[in-house]
Amino acid sequence: MNLEQLRSFVEVARFGNFTRAAEELYLAQPSLSRQIAALEHDLGAELFHRARGRSTLTVAGESLLPLARRMLSDAESVRRELAELAGLERGRVRLGATPTLCISLVAEVLSVFHAEHPAIELHLSEHGSRRLLDELASGELDLALITTSDASTTERFTVTPLLVEELVVISSATAPPVAAGDTVSLDEVAVLPQVVFSSSYDLRSTTDAAFRASGLTPEVVLEGAEMDAVLRFVERGLGVAIVPAMVLIDRPGLRSVRLEVPRNDASEVTGSALSRTISVARPADVAPTAAVEVMRRTITASATTFAARAGATMRLARPAE
């Protein structure tokens, strides 16, 4: 019994006709008939009731059909995996990322990956970190770039820290600076008109917690915007915003100043700067395909590049973080 015999068997079962199955397989009908006869001989049972113009499955044929389909499917999976190993000629990567990362790091990652491996299908899911971890757990994603971590998920996921970046205060480049020096305090920011994110953003939770811990209430002029809109509103001078340093790369219409907060404000404080850790997560119990592994390496390389471009506001994460 071989795969060609099984493929012939499945096609005859699908069409109920040897002639049509032979045409579908680009075989001469006598060759197809010999393959089916050889399969029946190997199995010791007839697989079809043959009649003029129509062939139907016997009981043995009905039993074999789902097994044959499964074996052919498994064989195709093996071929795809080997094709990936041979040069990533086929494959798919399902990547998830938070909104703030989609307009910065992810754009760079996908551009580099697609240029090198154009035949790989790319699927992107843009949500908050908790939703992305749920999608990883349900098998909807292969990798996720997250900005928060939950201790209860460590056994289900392999989470590798990539970057630690500061949150900075941005303002319009055409407006006067919000601070005379290189830094601005949290209480100074609280009295400035602010554009704040949607409550679904991990970043919004982080900044809200910092203000609460300091007993401050920010002066909000606009609430509920998405990242791209926030940046545009600030560029137009509507107010200031607290954003990850990464999104400032290649945005000349904005200026930034580092943010100082009391050291006891939150757990996500490095020195006196409010910061966040960016990590890449994948399911712990699923071996990555070749395409997924190459995507992971591309993400790591791009993160290194971003850290170099961002200067003091971003650094590579140590493995222990």
pLDDT of residue 263: 58
207-219 pLDDT, tens digit each: 898 899 889 999 9
Tokens (6 digits) for 1:
């019994």
Query: Residue 301: in which H helix or E strand, if any?
Result: helix 290-310
CATH architecture assigned to 164-275: 3-Layer(aba) Sandwich (3.40)
CB 32 within 8 A of CB 4: no
- Helix, strand or coil for residue 254? strand
What radius of gyration, in Å, describes the C-alpha atoms of the chain?
A: 29
End-to-end C-alpha distance for the chain, whole angstroms: 54
Q: Is the pLDDT of residue 271 over 60?
A: no
Sign of CA dihedral 316, 87, 3, 1: negative
pLDDT computed for residue 148 by the predictor:
66
pLDDT of 302 over the 60 cut:
yes
The pLDDT of residue 179 is 87
Closest CA relative to residue 261, chosen from 189, 162, 181, 157: 189
pLDDT given for residue 65 in this prediction:
94
Q: Domain locations in the chain?
A: 3-87, 93-162+278-311, 164-275
Helix (H) or strand (E) holding 129: helix 129-137
pLDDT in tens, 111-156: 999 998 888 889 999 988 889 999 998 889 999 999 864 444 567 8
Looking at domain 93-162+278-311, which of 3.40.50.720, 3.40.50.1820, 3.40.50.620, 3.40.190.10 is its CATH number?
3.40.190.10
Contacts with 204 (C-beta within 8 Å, 6 or more apart), sequence order: 196, 197, 198
Q: Residue 285 — very low, low, confident or very high, per pLDDT cuts 50/70/90?
A: confident
Q: Which residue has the tokens 């910061």?
A: 275
β 92-97/54-57 pair status: unpaired
226 vs 204: CA distance, rounded Å? 11
Task: Write the DSSP string, 50-104.
Answer: EETTEEEE-HHHHHHHHHHHHHHHHHHHHHHHHHHHHH--S-EEEEEE-HHHHTT
Decide if 93-162+278-311 and 164-275 have a common fold: yes
The CATH code of domain 3-87 reads: 1.10.10.10
pLDDT of residue 151: 41
Q: Residue 21: CB partners within 8 Å, gap ≥ 6?
A: 8, 11, 12, 14, 15, 32
pLDDT at 245 over 90: no
| Residue 296, pLDDT above cutoff 90 | yes
Mean pLDDT comparison of 15-24, 177-186, 240-249, highest-scoring range: 15-24
Q: Give per-residue pLDDT as tens, 8-57.
A: 999 999 999 999 999 989 889 999 999 999 999 999 999 999 988 789 99
Give the per-residue pLDDT at 262.
64
The number of beta carbons lying within 10 Å of the beta carbon of residue 269 is 16
Band of the pLDDT at 83, cuts 50, 70, 90? low
CA distance 141 to 123: 9
**100-109, pLDDT tens digit by residue?**
888 888 999 9
